[in-house]
């Protein structure tokens, strides 16, 4: 049914517990990757780091957007990136799925690893990487296609053919974002007829339909009303059971509500990174305190 072996793997692994999913997924990868994953790393801040950023410098042409950023993101946890506008949150986020590749004239130094594999290495197939690292954008951007085709798009790209299996995955994905009951009778209608928080939930369903390992969210609720926001936040709590979530947000309450870890960035630097409870109750840096209490200019 699916062309790529990786898709088979993802399908079979659907119902397995998360722990075996990592090891299994890793076994399917190249041997060298396993070696690098097993290699001792001294700066591992968090247990079982899944996404590792080490001394990352990022340049848009001449301007440096990220300065020596290092952090480790744990699996099946929600990590929030906060900081004032223009501090490089989106840039960092878009490094994880190499969306920055689309921008001309960028330069990257340092190391970024997903499950031990270097993201910016030459051998990485970007389309495979993006399948493993899904993304949800600030403004919902459903395709001008039917609701069904929106969710099925990623699967079709990766070789799925129409059929009962595809129907099932679409249904599951829509159920996962609590959209199924609202749209099950009009799957064939265009997605532009959805309203309120529905398009954004559809975009999340679209992202998780390909069974990514990491879900990147760039201010997913900034265009939504409080009720729709609450629904998405609730959803994030459930999503972390299966996915590793990295979320950018300007809303401090949201960060404290949904995330397990929080990273505070300022002017391209990572100022502080740690457990959300710690960051919000007892930050080490004055800048962090100023920012989360709204005193930051």
Partner 1 sequence: MRYFASKMTIWRSGDPFVWLSGGALALILLLLSGLFVVVTVNGFGAMWPKRTAKLELRSGDIVLGEIVERELIPPSRTSSVEAFRLQVKRGNRDLSGSDFVWLDEAEIERISYPEEAVVIERRQWGNFYGFPARLLWRNDVVAGAGDGSWRKLEKLLAEEQNIVRQIREIERNEAAALGYKQEKLRIEIKELEKRGAQSARLASARLRGKALQREYIELEQRLQAKRQLLSGVLEMRAAGDQLKRIELAEIVRIYQPNAMSWLERLLLCGQRIIEFVFDDPRESNTEGGVFPAIFGTVMMVLMMSITVTPLGVLAAIYLREYAKQGRFVSLVRIAVNNLAGVPSIVFGVFGLGFFVYTLGGSIDELFFEKYLPNPTFGTGGILWASLTLALLTLPTVIVATEEGLAAIPRSLREASYALGATKLETTWRIVIPSLVPSILTGMILAVARAAGEVAPLMITGVVKLAPSLPIDANWPFFHFDRKFMHLGFHIYDVGFQSPNVDAARPMVFATTVLLLLIVLLLNLSAIIFRARLRKVGLSGAL
Ligand X SMILES: Nc1ncnc2c1ncn2[C@@H]1O[C@H](COP(=O)(O)OP(=O)(O)OP(=O)(O)O)[C@@H](O)[C@H]1O
Residues binding partner 1 (CB under 8 A): 97, 99, 102, 126-131, 134-135, 137, 139, 141, 143-146, 149, 153-154, 156-158, 188-192, 203, 206-207, 210
Residue 166 vs 248, nearer CB to ligand X: 248
Identify the H or E element spanning 71.
strand 63-74
Q: Report if residue 85 touches ligand X, rule: CB under 6 A.
A: yes
**Contact status: 65 vs ligand X (CB under 6 A):** yes
Query: Which residues lie across from 66 on neighbouring strands?
Result: 58
Shortest CB 107 distance to ligand X, Å: 12
Give me the DSSP letters along 229-286: HHHHHHHHHHHTTTSEEEEE-S-HHHHHHH-SEEEEEETTEEEEEEEHHHHHHS-SSH
The upper half-sphere exposure of residue 231, i.e. CA atoms within 13 Å in the direction of its Cβ, equals: 16
Could you give the string, one character per residue 42-61, with x where binding to ligand X holds by CB under 6 A and - elsewhere?
Answer: ------------------x-
Rounded CA-CA distance 110/270 in Å is 14
When CB distances are held under 5 to 8 angstroms depending on the partner's kind, the choice from Mg ion, ligand X, partner 1, none that residue 139 binds is partner 1
Task: Name residue, tokens 């960035």.
Answer: 265
Specify burial of residue 61 (Cβ count, 10 A radius: 0-12, 13-18, 19+): exposed
Which of 72, 75, 79, 90 lies at the binding interface for Mg ion (CB under 5 A)?
90
Query: How far apart are CB 245 and Mg ion at their closest, in Å?
Result: 17
Residue 271, sorted as left (phi over 0), alpha (psi -120 to 50) or beta, turns out to be alpha
Of 152, 138, 98, nearest to 223 by C-alpha is 138
Cβ distance to ligand X smaller for residue 21 or 65: 65
Tokens linked to 58:
């990022």
192 binds, among Mg ion, partner 1, ligand X, none (CB under 5 to 8 A by kind): partner 1
Which run of H or of E encompasses 167?
helix 164-176
Classify burial at 63, counting beta carbons within 10 Å of its beta carbon; exposed 0-12, middle 13-18, buried 19 or more: exposed
259 binding Mg ion? (CB under 5 A): no
- Looking at the Cβ atoms of 96 and 148, the one nearer to ligand X is 96
By CB under 6 A, tell whether 89 contacts ligand X: yes
Taking the complex as a whole, the smallest distance from the CB of residue 141 to ligand X amounts, in Å, to 16
Q: Is residue 139 involved in binding ligand X (CB under 6 A)?
A: no
Q: Which of 46, 92 has the CB closer to Mg ion?
A: 92
User: 180 is in the binding site of which of Mg ion, partner 1, ligand X, none (Cβ under 5 to 8 A by kind)?
Assistant: none
Chain residues in the site for ligand X (CB under 6 A): 60, 63, 65, 83, 85-91, 103
């Amino acid at each position: 049914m699916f062309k790529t072996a990786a898709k088979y793997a993802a399908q079979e692994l659907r119902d397995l517990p998360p722990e075996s999913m990592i090891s299994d997924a890793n076994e399917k990868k190249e041997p060298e990757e396993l070696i690098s994953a097993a290699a001792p790393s001294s700066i591992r801040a968090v247990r079982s780091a899944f996404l590792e950023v080490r001394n990352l410098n990022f340049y848009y042409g001449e301007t440096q957007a990220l300065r020596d950023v290092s952090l480790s993101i744990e699996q099946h946890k929600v990590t929030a990136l906060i900081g004032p506008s223009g501090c490089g949150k989106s840039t960092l986020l878009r490094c994880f799925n190499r969306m920055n590749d689309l921008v001309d004239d960028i330069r990257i130094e340092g190391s970024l690893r997903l499950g031990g594999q270097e993201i910016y290495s030459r051998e990485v197939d970007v389309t495979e990487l993006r399948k493993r690292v899904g993304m949800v954008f600030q403004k919902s951007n459903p395709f001008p296609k039917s609701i069904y085709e929106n969710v099925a798009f990623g699967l079709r790209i990766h070789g799925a053919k129409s059929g009962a299996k595809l129907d099932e995955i679409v249904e599951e994905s829509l159920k996962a974002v609590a959209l199924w009951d609202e749209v099950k009778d009009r799957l064939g209608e265009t997605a532009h007829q959805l309203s309120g928080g529905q398009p954004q939930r559809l975009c999340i369903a679209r992202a998780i339909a390909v069974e990514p390992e990491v879900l990147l969210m760039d201010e997913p609720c900034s265009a939504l009303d409080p009720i729709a926001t609450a629904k998405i936040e609730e959803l994030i709590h459930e999503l972390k059971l299966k996915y590793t979530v990295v979320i950018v947000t300007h809303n401090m309450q949201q960060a404290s509500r949904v995330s397990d870890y929080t990273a505070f960035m300022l002017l391209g630097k990572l100022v502080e990174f740690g457990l959300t409870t710690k960051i919000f109750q007892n930050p080490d840096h004055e800048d962090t305190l100023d920012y989360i209490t709204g005193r930051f200019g």
